Structure 1
């Protein structure tokens, strides 16, 4: 597909839930689903351990609504997958190239996903605070059906239960204290300084990473959506810590 990269509205404003955009293409995917490609979007695509936003895309004041069920990012282009609301007695040609549309993200889903994703980053901070800083963050899964963060390294079986209690206590103490959550796209050197002096190897040195910062704690690179203040996580339950094959997995949920 010959299109410019999609402008990511949520990238600079994580709290934004409504925006306008221009249709670039609209096509059929299978017998049920269709896809919309726009010049910009406020919808967060699935990725980085975070599920996709859902919601609706409308043509101005028209009754025609495109129901967004899934969102994916490929080669810089965001694809909105879903279907045209069958109750609308309006031609689907209204989604032709050049049309102006209004995007509305499902707010409860976005807020839950942002809380879960933020809680995963908060765990990274708490791991260091309870003496587990030697474990390197690996994969994160911040979906409602079973969120977890996986770390490279292990801890002894005798420490698992004690650390689980300490970790949950530390997380909820930080949540109670609160603190602004900030994001900024920065030159590599500034981003590195904000993250404690280094960045992961996968980030190119000539890039401008997006950095997430929880209160006064060191920042970290992340492209997802998050809460505006740590207190919005409300509370966290660390349901289990397990260690196997050189990895430690911390399972959690927000309540």
Structure 2
């Protein structure tokens, strides 16, 4: 398996690693800071540096089992199996995804009682789809979202027994994607204090450590995507 360093150290931009497999289908490392595409968040891009050479990585994706594939640019030199590389992500792109992903958690907390039917994280704009009969007021949602951001709530991840989903199934807000089960443990992302969190739900993505790091957000538009589906698109205000 590939050790997912980004889960507990989301601000780590590079790490040393050993090449386990290397080929046209992707490069597998024993550990990585590259987030693999999933849960609506794009995979990280960046570079692998080794023995005076480098391999540009266009995206990281999930491979077989618990491996992560680092997809190299077409025609790039590939590091040999057993070599030690420095794996470095495009930090500014990752940071943009962290800010937007965290803001989507805050947005989810504002649309109470509605399941999430889909979503996509982007550096420039992101979206969440909700199972709602009527669209929420755009200006009010934007004001409430920015108030939560400015309150500078802490953002923390914690590992718990996956049985918590049996005792509290309401933790899962998404209809389209369910948390993976079978490992015995579950990663929860908590925004706010332990007693009365702003948001608490399973998530394997990357996030900023405090909401103020997101910066101002604007609600671009709210669209009707079906009789019972409302899409809210957000973007950085700056």
Match of 2:216 in 1: 235
Q: Does 1:247 align with 2:229?
A: yes
Instruction: Give unpaired runs (5+ residues) of structure 1.
Output: 30-34, 87-91, 128-132
CA, structure 1 residues 218+143, in 2 after alignment: closer, same or farther (shift >3 Å)? Answer: closer
1:57 aligns with 2:48: yes
Match of 2:122 in 1: 143
Unaligned stretches of 5+ residues in structure 2? none
SS in 2 for 1:245: coil
User: Would you say 1:76 and 2:53 are equivalent positions?
Assistant: no
Report how many aligned residue pairs link the two structures.
Answer: 226
| Structure with more helix by fraction | 1
Q: Which runs of 4+ in 1 moved over 6 A?
A: none
Partner of 2:102: 118
Alpha-carbon distance in 2 for matches of 1:22, 1:236:
39
Taking the aligned partners of 2:200 and 2:35, their CA distance within structure 1 comes to 21
Distance in 2 of aligned mates of 1:71 and 1:191: 28
Map of 1:183 onto structure 2: 157
Once the two structures are TM-superposed, the CA of residue 242 in structure 1 deviates from its matched residue by: 2.3
Contact 2:130/2:229 (<8 A) preserved: yes
> Is this contact kept in 1: 2:101–2:121, CA < 8 A?
yes
Q: CA deviation at 1:99?
A: 1.2
The answer as to whether partners of 1:45 and 1:51 remain within 8 angstroms in 2 is: yes
Aligned position for 2:84: 100
Classify 1:85/1:232 alpha carbon distance in 2 versus 1 (closer, same or farther; 3 Å).
farther
Match in the other structure for 2:113: 134
Q: Deviations over 1:123-172 (max 9, x none)?
A: 01122xxxxx232122111113541100112216xxx5xx1111000011
Question: Relative to 1, partners in 2 of residues 1:246 and 1:190: Cα closer, same or farther, differing over 3 Å?
Answer: closer
2:12 is matched with: 16
- Structure 2 counterpart of 1:32: none
**Structure 1 CA distance, aligned partners of 2:117 and 2:154?**
25
Is 1:209 the counterpart of 2:186? The answer is yes
Q: 3-state DSSP class of the match of 1:186? A: strand
Distance 2:44 2:105 in 1: 19
Using structure 2 for the length normalisation, give the TM-score. 0.86
Paired residues of 2:98 and 2:206 also in contact (CA < 8 A): yes
Query: Is contact 2:35-2:60 (8 Å) kept?
Result: yes
